[in-house]
Amino acid sequence: MELLLKKTIDKLGRIGDVITVKPGYARNFLLPLGYAVPVSKANREEIERAREQALAEERARVDSLKDLATQLGEASVTIEGRANAEGHLFGSVSSAQIAEALREKGFQVEAKAVRLDAPLKEIGVFDVQVHLHADVEASIKVWVVQAKPQ
């Protein structure tokens, strides 16, 4: 059965794509939930307008994320931790701590956007990637320093 997608569905297609699916999948899932419509000239025109609007919104979102990436590239954060004499932390610095430090500086970044190969376990300066979008990444400097004794 041929349908025209009204929404982007992972592993199936994007808005405006003509897809071929089994009739049961169309009747029981795609059509009742409004994810797809039968292929017709009127539906194609409506979906094309929706697709153009969605692309324009996505472009605006990517532009704002590129601005944020530029600002993040100039920023750095400092995280204090207790460490031994050799500089090994008692614990580690995680992506959640880095995201929290960025939020304190006014950047709205989620913890899952901060990409660490492994938690930071030593004192030093590290370059950390922040993944904002499939096309937008930023690199920030993270300073891990010895906490002052209380």
The whole-angstrom separation of Cα 126 and Cα 80 is 14
Q: What's the whole-number mean pLDDT along residues 132-142?
A: 91
Question: How confident is residue 135, by pLDDT bands cut at 50, 70 and 90?
Answer: confident
pTM of the model: 0.70
Mean pLDDT of the chain: 91
The whole-angstrom separation of Cα 149 and Cα 62 is 44
Domains defined along the chain, listed by start: 2-64 (3.40.5.10), 69-146 (3.10.430.100)
Closest CA to 36 of 51, 19, 60: 19
